[in-house]
Chain A
Amino acid sequence: MTQTTLPASKMPTPRSNLKNWIGVIPFFLFAVLFIFLPSVRLFVGSFTNVDGQFTFENVIELFTEDYILNSYLLSIRISAVTALGGGIFGFLLAYSVTVGGLPRSLRSALITFSGVASNFAGVPLAFAFVATLGRTGFVTSVLKDVFGFNIYDAGFNLYSFLGLSLTYMYFQFPLMVLIMAPALDGLKREWREAAENLGANTTQYWLRIALPILLPSILGAMILLFGNAFGAYATAYALTGGRLPIITIQIGAQVRGDVLHNPNLGNAMAMGMVFIMAISLAGYSWLQGKTERWLR
């Protein structure tokens, strides 16, 4: 009798049945309420006109209204520039602390600092850059007083494309460092030794072996940086107060109050962003698959 009360069925079994899905219902409920419903609502809204009927008008308007198209292009340009710049600089930094021969202590310092800086965005970041490169900022004053060079007379403006890009770089290149450092660790010493035994010099090793192996992860990381900048809103808003009409700022204005005649156009603008972000993420995971062939 006592034998049968031992709950053999309670023992974890690798086989699962429909009942086991009950355990993940809370998670799916959360995902539906806070991720799917809001997304679906925006998605449906972008194909609905003011009277609630199905239409492609909103989506077509994204491409025909100049100011919307220009906002997308501005966002794409700024994200691409900072992804490329931050990607190259971050790669060089990651290189210097991994295979570049710097002491190990510098490596952990850089990794920690990168963790901080890649999370240091939004309003505080904007304020820090105003204090640095603003009209009376620290660097501006030093350049003017010590070198007699006024960057604002030379055409620089913090509240411009270049200024916003420099500000974004502050969280872009640290993210690259965080992603690339483990990838660079994956380069095996044997590959280098084999190349050297066959008579390759450093340049040949990098151009013919290391970079081709690393290329998918470099590109993948840059795509991630692109998305990182593309979705940014608070930094740009706090820095330029909405004067630089990137797409997130336009959507923000739309949420604050319907500045357009048609609230569903705002939905379409949002879906356009999600679409671009989804393409980037798909590209990233495709490249990630390519990376895993060699690294790890």
Chain B
Amino acid sequence: MKLAVWLRKFPFWSYVWFILGVLYFVIPLLATFEFSLTMERDVVGFKAYEKAFADPDFLETFGYSVFLAAMTIIVSIILIVPTAYWIRLRLPEARRIVEFITLLPFVIPAIILVFGLIRVYSSPLNIPFTEVTLVEPLTNFKFGTNVLIIGGYMVLGLPYMYRSVDTGMRTVDVRTLTEAAQSLGANWYVIIARVILPNIRTALLSGSLLTFAIVVGEVVLASFLGISAFGPYLFLLGQHRAYEPAALTFTTFLLTWAAMGIIQLITGGQEQVAGAH
């Protein structure tokens, strides 16, 4: 009798969907992992990982991607935190237009963005109506392409970073914090760097990790701008190797997983709040 009640209450279909979902998630990863272990005939081992990590090109491109990700995150924070703060405090009427801009990257896919960037910045910047060149075409030299790609990555990460920061500022009362800091004699730099930033560090961390996850494996902007980052490297490696790309694919997955796991961990409390209303 009790068993019958339990069986009737047992969420059979929920488990069916859940298990199907888990299978869809896990099987490709298992397949990749299994494949990456079989580099040597009849031996299961981490040879593919050893070879992949030992490649100097891997270290160079991966290091470069991490550098680009770090720069993107830093410049994004420097740009977005004061903007979001200022809008909250002084300029609420700019909220709609700024939020609209932060949604634009959803309308402009990466391939279109890089197309437009190349069209605009592959010609030199002249003083208007003259032939005097102020800046060489940005696409022609290394610093220029770095500026373009970091700007492009900032656009790709903009929706996530802005929303994170804005949500973070909503949960702490920036106005009261600002008034308190001002009455103690703090200037604007001190208010933002020493009062606001530490109070929204959870939001900053989750926005940063999301940006990191987007940037590190990114391939479209990097390959069209001719930057030897990790994404294009992995793509080229896949053209003529089999096992090393699988090993790196699995590693990339673990990295994404780590980033998302940390976000879930640090924002766990916030997610409950969001679920409550």
Contact = CB atoms under 8 A, between A and B. Distances in A.
A240 B21 CA distance: 25
The 3 closest A-B pairs by CB, nearest first: A38-B116, A231-B109, A138-B31
Interface stretch (B39-47, B56-64, B127-135, B253-261): B253-261
A38 B182 contact: no
Interface of A: 10-14, 16, 20-21, 23-24, 26-27, 30-31, 33-35, 37-39, 41-42, 45, 89, 92-93, 95-97, 100-102, 106, 108, 110-113, 115-117, 119-120, 122-124, 126-129, 131-132, 137-139, 169-170, 173-174, 177, 181-182, 185-186, 227, 230-234, 238, 248, 251-252, 254-256, 266-267, 270, 273-274, 277-278, 281, 296
B3 interface: no
A127 B89 CA distance: 47
B262 to A, nearest CB: 10
Contacts of B175: 12
Interface of B: 9, 11, 13-15, 17-18, 20-21, 24-25, 27-32, 34-35, 79-80, 82-83, 86-87, 89-94, 98, 101, 103-120, 151-152, 154-155, 175, 178-179, 182, 210, 213-214, 217-220, 224, 231, 234-235, 238, 245-246, 248-249, 252-253, 256-257, 260-261, 263-264, 268, 271, 274-277
A106 B18 CA distance: 9
Contact of A41 (B120, B217, B224, B261): B120
Nearest to A167: B28
Contacts of A177: 21
Contacts of A31: 101, 104
Contacts of A21: 91, 94
A252 B111 contact: yes
Contacts of B93: 16
B213 A248 contact: no
B27 A138 contact: yes
A9 B220 CA distance: 49
11 contacts: A23-B82, A89-B21, A97-B14, A102-B14, A123-B234, A128-B249, A131-B28, A177-B21, A233-B109, A256-B224, A274-B112
Contacts of B256: 116, 119-120
Given A20-B90, A252-B111, 8 more contacts: A39-B108, A93-B21, A117-B25, A123-B231, A128-B31, A131-B32, A131-B34, A227-B106
Contact of B28 (A10, A129, A233): A129
